[in-house]
């Protein structure tokens, strides 16, 4: 059973990951959002997408993303539940075409966390609390990830991505993180 605000005990392993380049240091945390179908929360569709088993006939939108091979290291659901899909030391396929501080291929050196949400719907306090706990754990494990190296998908793929969107309260997140 999953407990709100805590990591799920049995990680799911997405097939959409691979090894990081040899000697690569994990030094970036990327925050995303996702909802499937767009704007709808709950259900198994995000799991299905990350696990490579999304039924393209279940919703008209899914036909547009059929065959998409994406994942994230973790998803934080609306109630704060954290679901793990890819071990942190592996390369999840979350960033796509991206660059940070002059380096391309952010998947090589980043950890990706998805928040169940949209650019325009406020995130839940439980999601912020879970994100802070997870971020603190990640920062302790990977000290090259500093406050300045926590970004949104929109920061590493401007013009292509907009998440986590204007609904994500960066000031609130960082105030909790700094406490």
Predicted model pTM: 0.93
| Catalytic option among 81, 114, 116, 124 | 114
Mean pLDDT, rounded, of the chain: 94
* 115: three-class secondary structure by DSSP: strand
Helix (H) or strand (E) holding 111: strand 110-116
24 among known catalytic residues: no
Residue 78: its pLDDT value, please? 98
Q: Could you report the per-residue pLDDT of 79-135, keeping only the tens digit for each?
A: 999 999 999 999 999 999 999 999 999 999 999 999 999 999 999 999 999 999 999
Three-class DSSP category at 100: strand
| pLDDT at residue 46 greater than cutoff 70 | yes
């Amino acid at each position: 059973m999953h407990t709100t605000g805590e990591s799920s005990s049995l990680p799911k392993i997405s097939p959409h990951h691979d090894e990081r380049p040899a000697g690569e240091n994990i030094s970036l945390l990327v925050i995303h959002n996702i909802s499937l179908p767009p704007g709808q929360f709950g259900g198994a569709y995000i799991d299905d997408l990350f696990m490579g088993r999304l039924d393209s006939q279940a919703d008209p939108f899914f036909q547009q993303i059929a065959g998409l091979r994406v994942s994230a290291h973790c998803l934080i659901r609306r109630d704060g539940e954290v679901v793990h899909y890819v071990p942190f030391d592996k390369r999840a396929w979350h960033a796509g075409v991206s660059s940070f501080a002059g380096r391309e291929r952010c998947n090589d050196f980043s950890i990706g966390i998805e928040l169940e949400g949209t650019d325009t719907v406020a995130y839940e306090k439980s999601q912020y609390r879970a994100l802070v706990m997870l971020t603190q754990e990640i920062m302790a494990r990977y000290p090259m990830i500093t406050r300045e190296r926590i970004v949104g998908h929109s920061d590493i793929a401007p013009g292509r991505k907009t998440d986590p969107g204007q609904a994500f309260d960066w000031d609130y997140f960082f105030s909790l993180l700094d406490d």
